[in-house]
Amino acid sequence: MKSKIYFIILFIFLHNIINAKETLKDILKEHLIELNYTTIRYSKVYPWLKELGEEYQQYGIILNSNTVLSQCDELIHSVSINAIYKNKKYKLQLELIDTEVNLCILKSNQSFLNFKKNWKELPLGEDPKLKQNIKVFYFDDYNQLRYYKYSVNEYTITSDYGFTKLPVFTVSSSKSIKIGSPAVLNEEVVGFHSYYNDKKLIFVPASRIRYFINQYFSENYKGFVVQGLELKPVFDELKKHYNLPEDEQGCFVEEIIIGSSGYGILKEGDIILEIDGIKPNKKCFYKDPLMGYQKFELLISRNINGTYRNKGEKLKVQILRDKQVKKLEIDLKSLYNYNRSVERIPWKVYGMQPYILQHGILFIELSRSYLIERLGKNWRRQALELAYLYDNKKYYKNEKEQDKIVIISEVLPDPINIGYQDILLKPVLKANNIDIQNLKHLYQIIDKTIHSHNKILELELSNHRKIYIDLNKEKEHLNILKKFYIPSDHYLP
């Protein structure tokens, strides 16, 4: 009799375990949706040209009857976004995009079939610990939910396109998997796959997903707190110079970007001694309970307990300035929807880029995206002057600066510009002896010159060479547009 009772108890126990696993799979089947889309990009070298991109597939997480969370990444360049859910097709549109943290919200044009759950029912867990084993789920070719097993190798902080550096965790893998594949630990979702790089799968942790979703549904999305600091260790040889005791450690503020949390309060040259009562080590790192040693500036956006700080909060910082210890409070800020430009030379640019084509000479504003497309990954070796400008002029130092680097990108061959066809990748400093602020400013000078008595445009390049464009030759200018199939001689949004 006892053996029969033990058997029943064992059967119920095993049955519950099996059901728990099945329940998790059922939840994932309900919340996971496959997104399909094709991308179109504008050329950075010839801005009027559209280029058909690749086709992509990735997963999204359904939050309610018509709302999906996913990673932005290539979705930003999509022509149209289609989704398949329970064998039915849906059209989706991007509603909220935060390129700083590479997350977005999409809306469906109709409710998902028989989806009655709420995002709060998605079992989001805590971020996994180092060396813990996770399962990464995916749909196979027969629409069955499968998983790979991995061990968490490392935590690091990164920013995909912006300046807001946040934690990601990695696992080693020889194979890439779909973006958005969920990572599971103890029957809870602890992250999703973000990208594949150097035989590593990189995952956005659950803490970031949870914070993003909570902000979105609060109907007052403010974004994540940006650090915007470049910190360097203060080496022992320099401590005496800065009046820093030998047994104290500090982080030298090398750079602060406009719009960042420390801007206007911290100064370049300050030495940060503490953030929120926590001190750095010799290498300007701190020991995080979950992630191990991490860069000290992460404390600006993330508490030591793993939660994220909020825009508008105050943060206590202790610094050494002019050899005196000062206690400050900095206002925590976000670059989401920040209404001023941070970069003079942008890291990443989207959509059709501004340009001017005048008498076959193509003018554009410099960006890293342009350099990569034009010269490839080794652009620094091929454009030393532009590499120098990028390293020293890429960020604005104060809010009054709003100038861009205007360069001659191309000279299309034609008799009216013979002698100038060797001028490539050269910054233009002046037009008619006026310092150029940006491309729009250059166009205003060109337009004024066209309507003046003397229709000669004088340009001064960074090597002090001067070139001259005869704006009287309107017919030849129009012939160049026709010959090279260029729809307009300028685009200035």
Do residues 322 and 433 share a domain?
no
Q: What is the pLDDT of residue 3?
A: 52
Q: What is the pLDDT of residue 109?
A: 87
Do residues 299 and 377 share a domain?
no
Q: How many domains does the chain have?
A: 4
Give the model confidence (pLDDT) of 367-384 as tens digits. 999 999 999 999 999 999
Choose the weakest-confidence range: 160-164, 329-333, 443-447. 160-164
Tokens of 141: 């070719």
Q: What is the pLDDT of residue 73?
A: 84
Do residues 359 and 422 share a domain?
yes
Residue 229 within any structural domain of the chain? no
Confidence of residue 160 (pLDDT cuts 50, 70, 90): confident
Q: What is the pLDDT of residue 86?
A: 86
Distance of CA 419 to the CA centre of its chain: 41
Query: What's the CATH code of the domain at 376?
Result: 3.20.190.20
Do residues 135 and 107 share a domain?
no
Do residues 264 and 365 share a domain?
no
Q: What is the mean pLDDT of the segment spanning 396-419?
A: 92
Cα→Cα distances 79→6, 135, 184, 351, 467, Å: 61, 33, 32, 12, 41
Burial class (CB in 10 A: 0-12, 13-18, 19+), 142: exposed
- Cα–Cα distance between 335 and 343 in angstroms, integer? 12
- Please state, for a pLDDT cut of 90, what percent of the chain lies above it: 76
* Last residue of one domain, picked from the residues 115, 146, 161: 115
Give the model confidence (pLDDT) of 337-357 as tens digits. 888 889 999 998 888 999 999
Q: Is the model's pLDDT at 7 over the cut of 70?
A: no
Q: Is the model's pLDDT at 275 over the cut of 90?
A: yes
Do residues 264 and 190 share a domain?
no
Do residues 368 and 316 share a domain?
no
Task: Give the predicted TM-score (pTM) of the model.
Answer: 0.88
Do residues 370 and 476 share a domain?
yes
Do residues 202 and 254 share a domain?
no
Q: Which amino acid is at 229?
A: L
Do residues 197 and 266 share a domain?
no
Confidence of residue 8 (pLDDT cuts 50, 70, 90): very low
Domain range for 45 is 14-115
* Last residue of one domain, picked from the residues 115, 139, 159: 115
Tokens of 357: 């084509």
| 2 or 319: which leads in pLDDT | 319
Residue 436 within any structural domain of the chain? yes
- Please state, for a pLDDT cut of 70, what percent of the chain lies above it: 95
Strand 355-358 to 324-331 pairing: unpaired
Q: Which of 119, 120, 109 is nearest to 62 (CA)?
A: 119
Do residues 104 and 147 share a domain?
no
